[in-house]
Amino acid sequence: MKKFPQKTVTRTLLYVRTLDNLLEQGKKFVSSWELAEITDLTDVQIRKDISNFGRVGRPRLGYEIRKLKSILEEYVLQHTVHVVLFGVGNLGSAIIRYPGFHNEKIKMVAAFDVDKKKVGKKIRDVKIYSFDEATKVVPKTHAEIGIIAVPAEHSQETADIIVASGLRGIVNFTPTTINVPKDVFVKNIDLSIEFLSLFCDIQRT
Amino acid sequence: MKKFPQKTVTRTLLYVRTLDNLLEQGKKFVSSWELAEITDLTDVQIRKDISNFGRVGRPRLGYEIRKLKSILEEYVLQHTVHVVLFGVGNLGSAIIRYPGFHNEKIKMVAAFDVDKKKVGKKIRDVKIYSFDEATKVVPKTHAEIGIIAVPAEHSQETADIIVASGLRGIVNFTPTTINVPKDVFVKNIDLSIEFLSLFCDIQRT
DNA sequence: ATTTAATTGTGAAATTAATAACGATTGTGG
DNA sequence: CCACAATCGTTATTAATTTCACAATTAAAT
Ligand SMILES: NC(=O)c1ccc[n+]([C@@H]2O[C@H](COP(=O)([O-])OP(=O)(O)OC[C@H]3O[C@@H](n4cnc5c(N)ncnc54)[C@H](O)[C@@H]3O)[C@@H](O)[C@H]2O)c1
Ligand SMILES: NC(=O)c1ccc[n+]([C@@H]2O[C@H](COP(=O)([O-])OP(=O)(O)OC[C@H]3O[C@@H](n4cnc5c(N)ncnc54)[C@H](O)[C@@H]3O)[C@@H](O)[C@H]2O)c1
């Protein structure tokens, strides 16, 4: 896999999502300008991003949606991502029920909780295991990413279990920074910070 | 409010969160190096960010935590942010119950749903109103930010209601791009894209 | 009082990302 | 078949951000 600007990767995933929608609407071609309208970016930005993946557009017509989508996916979506969830509380339950995590792109394959009342249950075909079973169960699921949705004070021990289970990616919803070996990638999603930074944007105008 | 690099603002909010924790632990001083360890950034980055707000550190000792915190907050946390929620489903219910949205920094003040069974109920002291009441209720709450947590196909109409209610900020959890006037700020949180981009990071190593 | 070592603060360099400018291509209509 | 206008793709330019190098400061040790 060649390496592209990090931002390009994120936007490319947005393009794929958009192209999916356009396909559903029965459209065949789309121009960089139209994509810019939909995604709230600029047409130049979009052409620049796409140019990373080769010459795929046709002057006067734009991009053939199906073709563009398949080329982009080749670079950013080689195969299904399998995720496991740690902490089936308020947030975890919502995530486990999210249809966006039960499709051909992302599949949730197992969940873990310390609460004995939850262990053994199933939500949306996802079985809930005890935390102790993680290092044994996770490898069998072929998961690549673990989600941390436990109380903040247990985020580090959960991260340790995730690492011990062999996962290389973590999405951390707790408002804490976790320590992991440097070959493990962490994406922190701190909702409070998102809201506060948006508020700063508003104030500064 | 002066304007600082956008990235600096986000990190500053992270520093404030970290300083809060250190204070709770009873610490008095912290060095840029220690902050770097905790936040997983570099010490230079941290000093550079802080230098935007004046000379606050002391060589040989580091930063006095209480003082640093109060200076940073002066720039990024003038007062409580009030938020209202649209869509009290799986995700919305989790958010409404999140303690992080019921403190002196962020306060959820109202929720809205079209489901008659939910309207009139209360979760965590937050009353659920009907969508029709939004333009009347929201202004009374002094809210600044609206959250979109309705099914994706209703995101645009919800955005329209939020704008009509006079809010200048939107946090959009649906996997769609919404159209709003240019003086309204939108923060899109697309979990699927977060997961997929993390997966790209993993693959590229 | 002087030295030393740790630590901050900052201008300059390097990197990364976005924007602009413009040439190249090609479907369309005459 | 030719001119035209729309659209892509690429190179150059500018802007934002991070990293580097090092001077300035000062608490602590002697
Ligand atoms: N609720 C939200 O909308 C929201 C939003 C942003 C961030 N968060 C963060 O997500 C995390 C979970 O939030 P929540 O509202 O779902 O909390 P919750 O208390 O509802 O759920 C926590 C779950 O983790 C399990 N758990 C408890 N102790 C555990 C341990 N030691 N190890 C493993 N699992 C344990 C509990 O059994 C429970 O099922 C918290 O850190 C919170 O700060 C929540
Ligand atoms: N569940 C998750 O963890 C999750 C994660 C990421 C994104 N999302 C997105 O968040 C949104 C909500 O997800 P969810 O799982 O809570 O869905 P949900 O179906 O559980 O909840 C949707 C809520 O919105 C209300 N609603 C329905 N139609 C409405 C309308 N026209 N106007 C206003 N409200 C309406 C419903 O009554 C319901 O309470 C979706 O767009 C989803 O894609 C959800």
The mean of the pLDDT values for chain B is: 97
Q: What is chain B's length?
A: 205
Radius of gyration of chain B (CA): 20
Which residue has tokens 């970290």? B18
Asked, colleague to colleague, whether A6-75 and A81-193 share their fold, the answer is no
Mean pLDDT for A61-85 is: 96
All residues of chain B having their beta carbon less than 8 Å from the beta carbon of residue A38 are 177
The verdict on a CB contact (< 8 Å) between A197 and B106 is no
pLDDT over 90 at A3, yes or no: no
Q: Give the confidence band of B2 by pLDDT, cuts at 50, 70, 90.
A: low
Percent of chain A with pLDDT over 90: 97
* Residues B134-168 pLDDT 10s: 999 999 999 999 999 999 999 999 999 999 999 99
pLDDT, average across residues A169-191: 97
Nearest CA-CA partner of A195 in B118, B189, B50, B179: B189
Q: Could you tell me how many residues make up chain A?
A: 205
pLDDT in tens, B23-42: 999 999 999 999 999 999 99
Domains of chain A, by residue range, sit at 6-75, 81-193
Strands in A126-130's sheet, in edge-to-edge order, are A122-123, A126-130, A106-113, A81-86, A145-148, A169-172, A185-188
Residue B170 distance to chain A (closest CA, Å) = 8
Per-residue confidence (pLDDT) for residue A2, from 0 to 100: 63
Q: Say yes or no: Cβ of B191 under 7 A from any atom of strand C.
A: no
**What is the spatial distance between Cα A178 and Cα A183, in angstroms, rounded to a whole number?**
14
Does the structure show a pLDDT above 70 at A88? yes
What is the b/e burial string over B96-113, where b = at least 16 CB atoms within 10 angstroms of the residue's CB?
Answer: bbbebbeeebbbbbbbbb
Write out pLDDT tens, residues A18-49: 999 999 999 999 999 999 999 999 999 999 99
DSSP assignment of B72-110 equals HHHHH-SS-EEEEEE--SHHHHHHHH-GGGBSSSEEEEE
* CATH number of this structure's domain A6-75: 1.10.10.10
Q: Are strands B63-64 and B29-30 parallel, antiparallel or unpaired?
A: antiparallel
- In tens, the pLDDT along A89-131 reads 999 999 999 999 999 999 999 999 999 999 999 999 999 999 9
What pLDDT was estimated at residue B126? 98
- Whether residue B6 contacts residue A198, with contact meaning beta carbons closer than 8 Å, is answered with no
* Helix or strand run (H / E) with residue B186: strand B185-188
- Dig out the tokens for B8 from the structure: 């600096």
- For the whole model, what pTM was predicted? 0.96
Q: Give A31 CA → C24 C1' in Å.
A: 17
pLDDT averaged over every residue in chain A: 96
Distance B168 CA to ligand 2 centre (A): 22
By most ligand atoms within 8 Å of CB, the mutation choice from B85, B86, B91 for ligand 2 is: B91
The mean pLDDT value for B42-67 works out to 97
With bands split at pLDDT 50, 70 and 90, how would you rate the model's confidence at B205?
confident
Residue B137, pLDDT score: 98
Strand partners, A133: none
Domain B81-193 falls in which CATH fold? Answer: Rossmann fold (3.40.50)
- What's the CA-to-centroid distance between B151 and ligand 2, angstroms? 4
**Averaged pLDDT, B12-17:** 98
Q: How many percent of chain B have pLDDT more than 70?
A: 99
